[in-house]
Amino acid sequence: MVSQKFRMAQDLDFEDFIKLIFQTIYIIILIYVGYQILMAIFGGTWETENIIIAGMGIILTGLFVIVGFLIHQATMTGKLDERTKNIGESLSNLGKDFKEHLSKHRS
């Protein structure tokens, strides 16, 4: 069990590690702000303005995460589109070669 977790940790590259750290920080901040909101509802530790500002920070952070995800998806879609186009051209050329080969041997 421990060796499997260690192997999974070795498979993470730097980019995935950074994403994991930011996701963890984001979740911790969400839990903290949620706790403060509950405390404000049931007796108050923060002022209402501070809760609103913290909520806006969470929303902005979420937007940055979504934009990063969308950029990544667009990159992957572009790569997939290019690969599909190249495969289509290769199949078209293969079909032409096959037709030429058949026409030569039928004569």
Report if pTM > 0.85.
Answer: no
Token code pair at residue 79: 């790569």
Angle, to 10 degrees, between the axis of helix 14-42 and the axis of helix 48-106? Answer: 150
CA distance 102 to 107: 9
CA distance 57 to 45: 19
Domain span including residue 55: 2-106
Task: Report how many domains make up the chain.
Answer: 1
- The tens-digit pLDDT sequence of the chain (107 residues) is 455 555 555 666 777 787 788 788 888 888 888 887 777 777 766 677 777 777 787 787 777 777 777 888 888 888 877 777 777 778 888 888 888 888 887 76
Q: Does residue 62 contact residue 27 with C-beta atoms inside 8 Å?
A: no
> In terms of Cα–Cα distance, which of 53, 60, 18 is closest to 33?
53
